[in-house]
């Protein structure tokens, strides 16, 4: 007996990729892009902090400015939900 594919339960592994993005109104790819860009910004902030740790006169406010900007972006993003 044929089954209606729309009534089948989706695999749990698929839910691991789609439930969270859907809960904030995004597709998987939209969420992927935002998270990838965010990780790049964290990498830059971490690099600036590392440089500042070695040579305190360099990158004195770079990491903190990056973190503040990311916080502002997250706050703005949450207010649009």
Task: Dump the DSSP string for 13-59.
Answer: HHHHHHHHHHHTT--HHHHHHHHHHHHHHHHHHHHHHHHHHHSTTSS
| Burial (CB count <10 Å: 0-12, 13-18, 19+), residue 76 | exposed
- Residue 28 has what pLDDT? 94
DSSP 69: H
**Angle, CA 35 vertex, CA 33 and CA 36 arms, to 5°:** 65
pTM of structure: 0.71
- Residue 69 has what pLDDT? 96
- Residue 79 has what pLDDT? 73
Q: Could you report the average pLDDT of every consecutive run of 10 residues in the chain (81 residues)?
A: 54 87 92 95 98 97 96 85 57
- Residue 2 has what pLDDT? 52
- Residue 22 has what pLDDT? 92
């Amino acid at each position: 007996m044929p089954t209606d594919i729309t009534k089948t339960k989706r695999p749990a592994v698929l839910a691991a990729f789609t439930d969270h993005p859907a809960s904030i109104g995004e597709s998987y790819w939209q969420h992927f892009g935002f998270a990838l860009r965010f990780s790049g910004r964290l990498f830059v902030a971490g690099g600036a902090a590392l440089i500042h740790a070695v040579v305190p006169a360099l990158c004195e406010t770079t990491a903190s400015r990056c973190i503040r900007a990311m916080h502002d972006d997250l706050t703005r993003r949450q207010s649009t939900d």
